[in-house]
Amino acid sequence: MNEIKILVVEDDRSISSLIATTLKINRYSYVTASTGQEAVSLCASHLPDLILLDLGLPDIDGIEVIRTIRTWSRAVIIIISARGEDSDKITALDAGADDYLTKPFSIDELLARIRAAQRRMQYITGTEPESALFTNGDLVIDYTSRSVTVAGREVHLTAIEYKLLTLLAQNAGKVLTHSYIIDRIWGGGVETDIVSLRVYMTSLRKKLHAASPSGSLIQTHIGVGYQMLRA
Ligand code: CA
């Protein structure tokens, strides 16, 4: 048995069963999902090493699936999609995908990409066990349910506040500059200034602080940016 675990995300039954059969014959262990929601939840419960992901899914867009999974998982993500345009490839790679295969693809090419991914994985050393839960002192972020608690109390965040918090959590201990944060949250082309960022950040810190005074681990570096301290 090949020792890696693969998650196959594909809503087209014929393609999904073709991939599944190929993996079975080649002795890979795998699970399959046919929707984005199912993909995210299987990724959290099975912690696959490699994900073969279709971009056109019936519920959420594959790009959004990549972004969600990437908040906690380092699995290799290979996109398998009918969309051949370069812009889709770039968006998928920027969102955190590792490789891209365009439909129709050959079985040999699929297997070669999987083997290449396996070789790259062998070079990755000293990795911490990944988890869908982030814990830092009183703060717990559950990436699958997108819920945040501080000292056991649920904190209700807006979409932007949640993104800000997870960005800081993924970089806990590091100071992130204003421009880095703005670029990561709003993307390069969007006009968002430091004043707006400060407003969102103040609101986020207030909510965390209200749940527990020790819960706000976010430090302001005046004129530079923000940092989540490690508790
Ligand atoms: Ca599809």
74-109: pLDDT as tens digits: 899 999 988 666 778 888 988 899 999 988 889 999
Question: How far is the centre of ligand 1, averaged over its atoms, from the C-alpha of 6 (Å)?
Answer: 18
Q: Please tell us whether the domain made up of 128-228 is placed in CATH 2.40.110.10.
A: no
Compute the distance between CA of residue 55 and CA of residue 163 in angstroms, rounded to an integer.
22
Distances (CA, A) of 186 to 1, 122, 171, 205: 43, 34, 17, 19
Task: Please give the pLDDT value at position 64.
Answer: 92
Q: What is the CA(18)–ligand 1 centre distance, in A? A: 14
Neighbouring C-beta atoms of residue 28, cutoff 10 Å: 20
**Is residue 24 predicted with pLDDT exceeding 50?**
yes
56 CA distance to ligand 1 middle (Å): 4
Give the Å distance between the CA of 80 and the centre of ligand 1: 9
CA of 195 to the centre of ligand 1 (A): 41
- Sequence spans of domains, the chain: 2-125, 128-228
What architecture is the 2-125 domain classified under in CATH?
3-Layer(aba) Sandwich (3.40)
Give the Å distance between the CA of 34 and the centre of ligand 1.
9
Does pTM top 0.85 for this prediction? Answer: no
CA proximity to 46, closest of 86, 99, 103, 6: 6
| Per-residue pLDDT tens over the stretch 131-171 | 788 999 999 999 888 899 999 999 999 988 999 999 999 88
Ligand 1 centre from 63 Cα, in Å? 13
Quote the ligand 1 centre to 5 CA distance (angstroms): 22
**Residue 214: band (very low, low, confident or very high) from pLDDT cuts 50, 70, 90:** confident
Distance, CA of 201 to CA of 220 (rounded, Å): 9
Q: Supply the pLDDT for residue 128.
A: 47
Length of the chain: 231
Ligand 1 centre to CA of 217 (Å) is 41
Residues paired with residue 134 on neighbouring β-strands, in sequence order? 141
Q: How many CB atoms lie within 10 A of CB 87?
A: 8
Q: d(Cα 209, Cα 203) in Å, to the nearest integer?
A: 10
Report the pLDDT averaged over residues 42-69: 92
Helix (H) or strand (E) holding 144, with range, is none
Ligand 1 centre distance from Cα of residue 86 (Å): 18
Q: Taking a C-beta distance cutoff of 8 angstroms, is the pair 78, 113 a contact?
A: yes
Ligand 1 centroid – CA 216 distance (Å): 42
* pLDDT of residue 123 exceeding 80: no
Question: Residue 125: what pLDDT?
Answer: 43
In this predicted model, what pLDDT tens digit does every residue of 25-34 receive, in sequence order? 999 999 999 9
Ligand 1 centroid to residue 126 C-alpha, Å: 35
